[in-house]
Amino acid sequence: MKKELVMYSRSYGCPFVQSAKRVLERHQVPFREILINQDPAAKSRVLEWTSFESVPTIIVADKGRDLPFEPPSPLPAGSSPRGVDRGSMITEPSEEQLADWLRGHGFIA
């Protein structure tokens, strides 16, 4: 596969990050993690994409890249990104939302 999952998260506890990791481990989906509390550029990207420091923000990227392979669908101004399938990105999804999004991108059957 020429695409990979990149999860923007934090180094300290977050229930949404733990939930996403459970789904990825359950389905044996490899991912690369970028910690926004240790990488100012990553934090800026997440703020630009979501208007919040929302984690996990999970993207489908070209291998080795830190940006979505295509621009994510826009969010209405001021709306929460939580659980919204934005095409190449999903933020703070429930386990079911994440599994559906992964299926849609061919990472799980």
CATH for 57: 3.40.30.10
Q: What domain range is 81 assigned to?
A: 3-104
Domain count, the chain: 1
Residue 109 lies in a domain: no
- Note whether residue 61 is domain-resident: yes
Is 62 domain-assigned? yes
Instruction: Give domain status of residue 59, yes or no.
Output: yes
The pLDDT, as a whole number, for residue 3 is 96
- Map the chain to HEC letters: CCEEEEEEECCCCCHHHHHHHHHHHHCCCCEEEEECCCCHHHHHHHHHHHCCCCCCEEEEEECCCCCECCCCCCCCCCCCCECCCCCCEEECCCHHHHHHHHHHCCCCC
What is the tens place of the pLDDT at every residue in 57-72? Answer: 999 999 999 999 999 9
Is residue 49 domain-resident? yes
Asked if residue 81 is part of any domain, the answer here is yes
Query: Is the distance from CB of 97 to CB of 90 less than 8 angstroms?
Result: yes
**pLDDT tens digits, 8-42:** 999 998 999 999 999 999 999 999 999 999 999 99
